[in-house]
Amino acid sequence: MESQIGDLILATDISQQNEYLSMFRSHLDRGDLCLEDANHRHFILQCVAPEISHVGDIEKKYHLGVSPLCDRQTETIANIQIGFMTYLVEPLFAEWARFSNTRLSQTMLGHLGLNKASWKGVQREQSGGGEDADPAFEEMDSDILPQEPRLS
| 9 and 42, same domain (yes or no) | yes
Q: Confidence class of residue 14 from pLDDT cuts 50, 70 and 90?
A: low
| 114 and 84, same domain (yes or no) | yes
Domain span including residue 118? 77-144
In a domain, 151, yes or no: no
| 42 and 90, same domain (yes or no) | no
Question: From the CA atom positions of the chain, what is the Rg in Å?
Answer: 18
State the pTM of this model.
Answer: 0.56
| 82 and 57, same domain (yes or no) | no
In a domain, 72, yes or no: no
Amino acid 98: pLDDT: 87
Q: What is the DSSP string of 36-88?
A: TSHHHHHHHHHTTHHHHHHHHHHHHHTTPPPPTT--TTT--HHHHHHHHIIII
Mean pLDDT, to the nearest integer, of 6-28?
65
Asked which of 19, 36, 61 is the last residue of a domain, the reply is: 61
pLDDT tens digits for 29-79? 898 888 778 777 777 666 666 667 778 888 888 888 888 888 888 888 888
Neighbours of 50 (CB within 10 A): 15
| 52 and 103, same domain (yes or no) | no
CA distance 72 to 52: 8
Asked which of 33, 61, 89 is the last residue of a domain, the reply is: 61
The domain total for the chain is 2
List Cβ neighbours of 40 (8 Å cut-off, separation of 6 or more): 27, 33, 34
In a domain, 70, yes or no: no
CA distance 146 to 144: 6
pLDDT tens digits for 82-121? 988 898 889 888 888 888 889 998 999 999 999 999 999 9
